[in-house]
Amino acid sequence: MLLTLIQAHAPAQEHASGPLTVEGGLMFWTIVVFLLLLAILRKFAWPAILGAVEAREQALERMLAEAAAEREQAAALLAENQKLIGEAKSQAHAIIVESRGVAEKDRALAMEKTRQEQEELLARARREIGAERERAVAELRREAVDLSLAAASRLIEKRLDSETDRKLVQEFLATMDEKR
């Protein structure tokens, strides 16, 4: 009975074909073609594909190594740059401090020079004032002598020797100055 059922269904299966039906010949040839294609690809395509993948992998590793080396070099350059900036800042600070000191010294020298010039001007002015005072005092004495002689000659009503009289009055005025 099982056989009859199989035979009854067998002709129905041979005639029905679809995506879910299994055909032995088609499956055999599909497996043969697949294995043949796999052998061809293994012999010719895979070495080229694997070589390209390995070359790409080596290129990436090389690029990563170069990037790491460049990163280290950039870090070293950054450290050197920061060191140079620090040195430049310290030099600038030293220059500023030095220039302040020089400016302070220059200012002190200028002040001292100005003070000396003022003292010299004051001393010269005092000397000139003293000389002018002495001239004025001498002029006043001469005038006082002349006035005294004029007054004395009017009193005496006679003219005395002018040079001798002057000398006498000057000696008198000198004794008056000593008493003061």
In tens, the pLDDT along 169-180 reads 778 777 777 766
Residue 29 falls within a domain, yes or no?
no
- Tell me which DSSP letter residue 44 carries: I
In tens, the pLDDT along 94-127 reads 999 999 999 999 999 999 999 999 999 999 999 9
The answer to whether 160 touches 135, Cβ cutoff 8 Å, is: no
Residue 12 falls within a domain, yes or no?
no
Per the structure, how many domains does the chain have? Answer: 1
Residue 142 falls within a domain, yes or no?
yes
Residue 4 falls within a domain, yes or no?
no
* 3-class DSSP string for 71-89: HHHHHHHHHHHHHHHHHHH
Higher-confidence position of 150 and 54: 54
Domain extent at residue 120: 46-179
Residue 123 falls within a domain, yes or no?
yes
Q: Is the pTM of this model over 0.75?
A: no
CA distance 100 to 114: 21
In tens, the pLDDT along 6-54 reads 554 544 444 556 777 778 888 899 999 999 999 999 999 999 889 999 9
Residue 161 falls within a domain, yes or no?
yes
Higher-confidence position of 152 and 102: 102
Residue 1 falls within a domain, yes or no?
no
How much is the pLDDT for 102?
92
Residue 15 falls within a domain, yes or no?
no
